[in-house]
Structure 1
Amino acid sequence: MAAAEAAVLSSSLETDTASVPETAGTAAATAATPPVSAAAAAVAAAARTRSEARGSKAALATKLLSLSGVFAVHKPKGPTSAELLNRLKEKLLAEAGMPSPEWTKRKKQTLKIGHGGTLDSAARGVLVVGIGRGTKMLTSMLSGSKRYIAIGELGKATDTLDSTGKVTEEKPYDKITQEDIEGILQKFTGNIMQVPPLYSALKKDGQRLSTLMKRGEAVEAKPARPVTVYSLSLQKFQPPFFTLDVECGGGFYIRSLVSDIGKELSSCANVLELTRTKQGPFTLEEHALPEDKWTIDDIAQSLEHCSSLLPAELALKKSKPEESNEQVLSCEYITLDETKGEDAIIKTC
């Protein structure tokens, strides 16, 4: 019986196998159907993903265009303030999926971004940034108080008044004591007169003095002008280096201060390191966003937090998002030089 059943099963299998050629077309069509369906599903899924991505980018772009106010970033040593602003802009554009700058030149300007108070490329610290209507507040940031930690080097003078320049003079400093330095700081506190450095953002005939100097052109020093030093103290002295904590008003140059201190000590000096620890209400530790926080969401949160730091007369009302038909972004850089009443507006994209 078992043998008979086995024979029947065998026969059945043989019959099925033999019948395959007769139904090959049908079987092939049936086998081909799943891949076609899978491909269609993959195409549909990809389309949904692209649609969702576009929707997400559109939402980010709308949020970016709605940002308005003042916040702070942490500028490292190396880039100029303008270069850092450009880096910030590129990160925001990339995150929002905005078109290339070349394309946006033809479109309506919808966003402004700028910084208030230039930091030298060799300096680091707080850089205040205005975005949207916040760019109108940058002048107040420029004229407000700032705080710096500066490390000076005795015995060497340079053409730029800092370590990036060419040494122009060397004098002994071995007789200088901590008491000597502390004893002269009062002369540089309060309302004083200061001659700006030749390598600066101040202008002659529409061009920066630093640009003219780099070209080798003869440049005359600007006349001394009134500046304010709110506080000045010696933090450390390890000859030839001395560390100062300075709080000053707008238009003040730390490089000139350090140079003048060296001269007052019958020697010379230049700035070795410079860090801006505070500008207006913004501090380096609490408010300055590091580069990994240069995102639309992080900046939005910072704007919300920083709005409470500003005086009532400067506080901005929450701005309405731009019209939804604005598809592109064009930028205006407003670079305010570290001088009273002098600002350069650079429109780029």
Structure 2
Amino acid sequence: MISKSLAPTVKGIFPFFKEPGINNYTIIKWVKLHITYECVMNNQWYNPYVDIYRALEPFASGVLAIAIGKPSLYMKYLKFCDSNYTLDLRMGQSTITDYFESPTIDSKPFDHIKLEDVEKVARSFIGPQIQALPKARFLRPLGIYYGDYDQSNDEEIKSWDQFLHINNQMRFVAGDRQHHRKVTCHSIEVIKFNPPDLTLQLSCDVPFSVRSFAEKFFTELDTCGSFTRILRTKEGPFTLDQCIDRTDLYLKYLMPALRKHTEPFIDHVRPHLDKLPFHDDVRMGKQR
């Protein structure tokens, strides 16, 4: 009989560095497969519950908080914490996914825009606001095993290279409804202005959508544009220098990261525990 003795120990919250070109669902699969494989190789069985709260777009990079097991109940309190971003923008062309390498859907002039205009518009976004979420929503990749079948798109994965291909990671669908939510932007700083490129540093709450911000930002400047880079430098208590990458997902590296970062994360969100009911998440089922 396979032992479950390792199950209570592989749980916690850790910061992961997400590389550009990789979907969030893929990262969750990586974490699950690393843990399950190593447990099975040691004659122990554990299929962990893995969760993230604020996903990053496939073309974005930076800090991604990941929870394993019961500590994922604390992830929803990131809603009341802050994030920092470095945004590289390109004016003049808008694309389907807001990434500059995607197909172009519109072009507008940007020669009339001055640094003073950018700074003035940026200041107008500081404070609480109602934000319309993007209509284009990214989908999970077709699958992680060879031969996984996606009936909705009538496609099939043939190889590992095809699974990791950027076109698969950036599958999206355009919705017919637009949702809104309350967000807060604390500060925006213009770091570089070299038309058509500009760089912004932004501090906001975690639910803030940088894609929605960029769309409205370009509209206020009477132009259009897209991202060349999205880098999240902070999420909640986690910063870039604390992150582990995909080469550190083996248990000998992952376990120390869980022990190091779980308690500081819980202490960081503890002041907000009375703002939402703390109860078991039905999605977790029997995973604890």
TM normalised by structure 1 equals: 0.62
| Structure 2 counterpart of 1:306, one-letter code | H
Which of the pair has more CA radius of gyration? 1
Aligned to 1:254: 210
- Show the 5 A alignment for 1:263-342: 263-285=219-241, 287-312=242-267
| Cα pair distance change 1:85/1:63, threshold 3 Å | same
Q: Which amino acid aligns with 1:80?
A: N
Aligned length: 244
Alignment match, 2:50: 113
Equivalent residues of 2:186, 2:203 under 8 A apart: yes
Return the offset for 1:225: 3.4
**1:158 match:** 95
Cα shift at 1:244: 1.0
Shift of 1:140: 1.3
TM-score w.r.t. the length of structure 2 is 0.74
Change beyond 3 A, Cα 1:260–1:136: same
* 1:244 counterpart = 2:200: yes
Greater CA drift, 152-161 or 193-202 = 193-202
Q: CA deviation at 1:180?
A: 1.6
Structure 1, unaligned runs of 5 or more: 1-56, 214-218, 316-342
Shift of 1:212: 4.2
Distance 1:313 1:151, change over 3 A: closer
Q: Which structure's residues are more often helix, by fraction?
A: 1
Contact preservation (8 Å) 1:195, 1:221: no
RMSD over aligned CA atoms reads: 3.2
3-state DSSP of counterpart to 2:130:
strand
CA contact (8 A) 2:12 2:70 kept: yes
Alpha-carbon separation, structure 2, partners of 1:132 and 1:145: 23
Q: Tell me if the contact between 1:70 and 1:134 (Cα under 8 Å) persists in the aligned partners.
A: yes
For 1:295 and 1:212, the matched residues in 2 are separated by 34
Higher relative contact order (CA 8 A, sep 6+): 2
Q: Indicate the percent of aligned positions where both proteins have the same amino acid.
A: 23
Instruction: Tell me the equivalent position of 2:148.
Output: none
Mark the runs of 5 or more structure 2 residues left unpaired by the alignment.
140-151, 153-170, 271-280
Amino acid at match of 2:127: G
The structure with the greater share of residues assigned to strand is 2
- Deviation per residue, 1:114-161 (Å, 9 max, x gap): 222111111111111111211111111244221111111101112322
Work out the CA distance in 1 between the residues paired with 2:284 and 2:259: 27
Query: In 2, Cα distance between the equivalents of 1:110 and 1:95?
Result: 11
Taking the aligned partners of 1:88 and 1:183, their CA distance within structure 2 comes to: 43
The aligned counterpart of 2:274 is none
AA paired with 1:124?
S
3-state DSSP class of the match of 1:255?
helix
